[in-house]
Amino acid sequence: MKEISLEVLQDAAHRLMFELSDEELKTLYEEFQTLKKQMETIGKIEGVDEAEPMTFPFACENSFLREDVAETPLDRDEALKNAGNVQDGQIKLPKVVG
């Protein structure tokens, strides 16, 4: 596993396009160290490598499927309300392909 160092966290923040102050970086680093210790503790449990990963907290399933009935869609103005820029009823973006 990749070692979580201050540099790794700094790089991740940079890639996600936000700035971290030194204090925030230190807090985050310490949280990761705690996490790492917890993982090490869990790793010591006998047979843990054979345990299947769980996607849901409980092993549950249902058999519900929605009937194929169309309902009234969102009002168009309502649907576009959050868009920064609208043209001809469509959301306008800077060109996304070259």
Cβ nearer to other proteins, comparing 2 with 66? 66
Cα–Cα dist 24/31, whole Å: 11
Smallest gap from residue 82 Cβ to other proteins (A): 8
Cβ proximity to other proteins: between 46 and 71 the closer is 71
Taking CA atoms, 11 is separated from 29, 30, 34, 52, 79, in Å, by 13, 17, 20, 32, 37
* 80: its two tokens: 């576009």
Least distance to other proteins, CB of residue 94, Å: 6
Residue closer to other proteins, measured from CB, 42 or 79: 79
Q: Which residues bind other proteins (CB under 8 A)?
A: 55-56, 60-71, 73-74, 76, 79-80, 82, 87-97
Closest alpha carbon to 6 in 20, 16, 18, 37: 20
Residues 97, 94: Cα–Cα separation, whole Å: 9
Min separation Cβ 34 and other proteins, Å? 24
Rounded to the nearest whole angstrom, what is the least distance from the CB of residue 58 to other proteins in the complex?
9
